[in-house]
Amino acid sequence: MARAFLFPGQGSQAVGMGKALGEAFAEARAVFAEVDDALGAPLSTLMFEGPEAELTLTANAQPALMAVSLAAIRVLEAQAGLDLSCDAAFVAGHSLGEYSALAAAGALSIADTARLLRLRGKAMQAAVPVGEGAMAALLGVELEAAREIAAEAARGAVCQVANDNGGGQIVVSGTKAAVERAIEIAKGRGVKRAVPLPVSAPFHCMLMQPAADAMRAALATTRIDAPRVPVVANVTAAPAREPEEIRRLLVEQVTGTVRWRECVDFMAGEGVDKFVECGAGKVLTGLLKRIAPQAAGISVGAPADLDAYRGFV
């Protein structure tokens, strides 16, 4: 039996996330305090109390989700005997969750991760004027068919596969008109559902190149250590172990496809049969059921989850 630890991405945020962990455990409070100090702002108050509209802003949601994920890891280490170096075959995170995975594995400090994600969120939001980009979910379609739909829809503009989430769920991203064309083409090809997503920017496509450039500059001066556990990277669906490789892949990730289905398939193929999602929500645990139904999954984001975790492992 082998375990992997997963870290959620944007969309899993909710007002109140992490609050119960912070109330129950000093280890969680220490993480939240470290993130607040790194950002010079009370992000934890926003996480616990809202307002939701402000928490959902990309520049807030990204470091906030990381904070809850790292709080969950620290609590598991202190209260449930977790030692990632011994207990995890791999770690992986969805989009911004890859930064959480790297911090959990010791490649990045929590403070640096918070600052990087605040910058990443701001840079991604600023890369494309509001209203000029869009994203859409295509449900009931496989990767190659989605790529063909995106290519046909582009017509000289940008339309790319942003996320391959597994279970026939593909997200496309690009200019607003091209994504709207992709929705119509998908419907014409019998795709089960094709729906626009309520996002503030077209993530994980070439329109994000200005954000990739900003992250390249920031990562160039950030200390990255070799992770204690191999990190399965979004853009390669393969383990990354060397600091310079990690630096390069984090830049590529901004404009590249999140190959989540392949990431989970890789880990399952390497013998992982238990997956632990750390942080807010249960999105990745839900996707796991569609990608690797033979594997078991559990989410840890509140004090009540600790007993379930102890029984799970």
Residues in the chain: 313
**Do 146 and 230 have their domain in common?**
no
Which of 174, 199, 224 lies at the terminal end of a domain, its last residue?
199
Whichever domain contains 191, its CATH number is 3.30.70.250
Q: Cα–Cα distance between 109 and 38 in angstroms, integer?
A: 11
* pLDDT at res. 300: 98
Q: Which of 212, 217, 220 is nearest to 252 (CA)?
A: 212
Average pLDDT on 285-306 reads 97
**Do 76 and 138 have their domain in common?**
no
- Residue 313 — very low, low, confident or very high, per pLDDT cuts 50/70/90? confident
* pLDDT at res. 277: 98
| Cα Rg of the chain, angstroms | 18
**Do 267 and 122 have their domain in common?**
yes
32: containing domain = 2-127+207-312
Whichever domain contains 9, its CATH number is 3.40.366.10
Quick: pLDDT tens for 241-282: 999 999 999 999 999 999 999 999 999 999 999 999 999 999
* pLDDT at res. 198: 87
Q: Cα–Cα distance between 161 and 100 in angstroms, integer?
A: 23
Q: Active site includes 94?
A: no
Say how many domains are in the chain. 2
**Do 253 and 120 have their domain in common?**
yes
- Residue 199 — very low, low, confident or very high, per pLDDT cuts 50/70/90? confident
Q: Active site includes 204?
A: yes
Q: 61 with 10: CB under 8 angstroms?
A: yes
Residue 122 has pLDDT above 80, yes or no: yes
**Do 256 and 177 have their domain in common?**
no
User: Given 44, 173, 204, 299, which residue is catalytic?
Assistant: 204
**Do 29 and 122 have their domain in common?**
yes
Quick: pLDDT tens for 134-151: 999 999 999 999 999 999
The whole-chain average pLDDT of the chain stands at 97
Question: How many other CB atoms sit within 10 Å of the CB of residue 130?
Answer: 9
**Do 106 and 219 have their domain in common?**
yes
**Do 32 and 72 have their domain in common?**
yes
User: Given 12, 44, 69, 95, which residue is catalytic?
Assistant: 95
Q: Is 112 helix (H, G, I), strand (E, B) or coil?
A: helix
Q: For the chain, what is the total number of helices (H) and then of strands (E)?
A: 15, 10
Quick: pLDDT tens for 104-114: 999 999 999 99
Quick: pLDDT tens for 42-93: 999 999 999 999 999 999 999 999 999 999 999 999 999 999 999 999 999 9
* pLDDT at res. 253: 98
Distances in Å between the alpha carbon of 39 and those of 69, 113, 159? Answer: 17, 10, 34
Quick: pLDDT tens for 209-234: 999 999 999 999 999 999 999 999 99
Backbone φ and ψ for 49, nearest 5 degrees, come out as -120, -15
Amino acid, res. 311: G
**Do 119 and 220 have their domain in common?**
yes
Residue 1 has pLDDT above 80, yes or no: no
Q: Cα–Cα distance between 91 and 3 in angstroms, integer?
A: 9
Amino acid, res. 180: E
Which of 153, 182, 199 lies at the terminal end of a domain, its last residue?
199
**Do 105 and 251 have their domain in common?**
yes
Quick one: what percent of the chain has pLDDT higher than 70?
Answer: 100
Q: 14 with 296: CB under 8 angstroms?
A: no
**Do 59 and 10 have their domain in common?**
yes
Which of 157, 175, 199 lies at the terminal end of a domain, its last residue?
199
Average pLDDT on 276-302 reads 97
Amino acid, res. 11: G
User: Which pair of tokens denotes residue 61?
Assistant: 């949601």
